[in-house]
């Protein structure tokens, strides 16, 4: 990641099923103990407690700051990135994300949560680390997919973020409609999303992201105005309807299959 003001900028995706960084993906399961466990794989030691990281997945919670799990997972993510760079001590600026529906309400709380300790000393997998957190920026989840390519987009675009779910049959799926301009200003809106699948309901949340790309090249002004009708919203509603239809169809077929197999077994 880039360096800014002597700080290492580390992007961390705090997913429900997995934590993702540039160099590592691991499960969100956290097991805490007051005594050192016999098995020390993926063991993080901090603040007098022992945390086993990455065993399974954390259950869905709408508020990620309700316990210390995501903070400990953040420390593990930072450790993986520092190790990849051969570092044991660093100043770190975090870049993280939240679902758009909760961005406005939880943004400041999540930033404070990540920055609750300015300096942290901990060990992970037998290596001691010392980190000074210099700041944190919170973006809409999925934004990282376009952050370094904003200048390639114009007008209205679509971004689909397919995340982990509560089980193998339910996934967190978010479809964003975003508009971008040549100077790196992006407006996100949810046009189809549901924590258990798709819905075609109208926009109910939006967020602006400013100054997200350094040295973003400007698009030359040729004096022409794009008069092409914007049919993206209707198209996305159609797509969400189709996805919802097939999801229901799959559930019906699964039910029929279970019934038939049960009858054969009997």
- Distinct helix (H) and strand (E) counts, the chain: 3, 15
Q: pLDDT tens digits for 65-92?
A: 889 999 999 999 999 999 999 999 999 9
- Beta strands 89-98; 7-11: pairing state: parallel
Q: What is the pLDDT of residue 254?
A: 72
Residue 207 has pLDDT above 50, yes or no: no
Give me the sheet containing 119-124, strands edge to edge.
3-4, 7-11, 89-98, 127-140, 119-124, 43-46, 49-53, 30-33
Which pLDDT value is given to residue 97? Answer: 85
Q: What is the pLDDT of residues 41-66, one digit of tens each?
A: 899 999 999 999 988 777 777 778 88
Which domains, ranges and CATH numbers included, belong to the chain? 3-140 (3.30.420.40), 146-221+229-254 (no CATH)
User: Residues 266, 201: contact at Cβ < 8 Å?
Assistant: no
- Tokens (6 digits) for 140: 């809409």
Nearest one of 85, 94, 91 to 19, comparing CA atoms? 94
pLDDT band at 99 (very low <50, low <70, confident <90, very high): confident
pLDDT at position 116: 96
Residue 159 has pLDDT above 60, yes or no: yes
Give the three-state DSSP class for 224.
Answer: coil
Locate 139 and state its tokens: 């973006």
Structure confidence at residue 26 (pLDDT): 93
């Amino acid at each position: 990641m880039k360096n800014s003001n002597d700080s290492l900028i580390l992007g961390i995706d705090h997913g429900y099923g997995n934590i993702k960084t540039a160099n590592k993906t691991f499960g969100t399961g956290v097991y805490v103990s007051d005594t050192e466990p016999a098995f020390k794989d993926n063991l993080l030691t901090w603040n007098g407690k022992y945390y086993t990281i990455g065993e399974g997945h954390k259950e869905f919670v709408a508020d990620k700051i309700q316990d210390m799990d995501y903070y400990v997972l953040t420390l593990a993510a930072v450790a993986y990135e520092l190790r990849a760079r051969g570092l044991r001590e660093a100043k770190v600026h975090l870049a993280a994300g939240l679902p758009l529906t909760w961005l406005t309400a939880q943004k400041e709380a999540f930033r404070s949560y990540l920055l609750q300790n300015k300096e942290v000393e901990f060990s992970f997998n037998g290596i001691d680390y010392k980190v000074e957190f210099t700041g944190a920026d919170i973006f809409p989840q999925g934004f990282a997919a376009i952050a370094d390519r904003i200048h390639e987009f114009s007008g209205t675009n679509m971004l689909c973020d397919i995340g982990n779910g509560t089980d193998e049959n339910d996934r967190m799926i978010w479809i964003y409609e975003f508009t971008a301009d040549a100077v790196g200003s992006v407006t996100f809106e949810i046009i189809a999303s549901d924590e258990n699948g798709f819905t075609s309901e109208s926009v109910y949340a939006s967020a602006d992201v400013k100054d997200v790309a350094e040295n973003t090249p400007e698009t030359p002004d040729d004096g022409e105005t794009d008069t092409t009708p914007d049919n993206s919203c209707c198209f996305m509603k159609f797509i969400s309807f189709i996805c919802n239809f097939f999801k229901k169809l799959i559930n019906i077929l699964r039910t029929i299959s279970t019934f038939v197999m049960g009858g054969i077994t009997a």
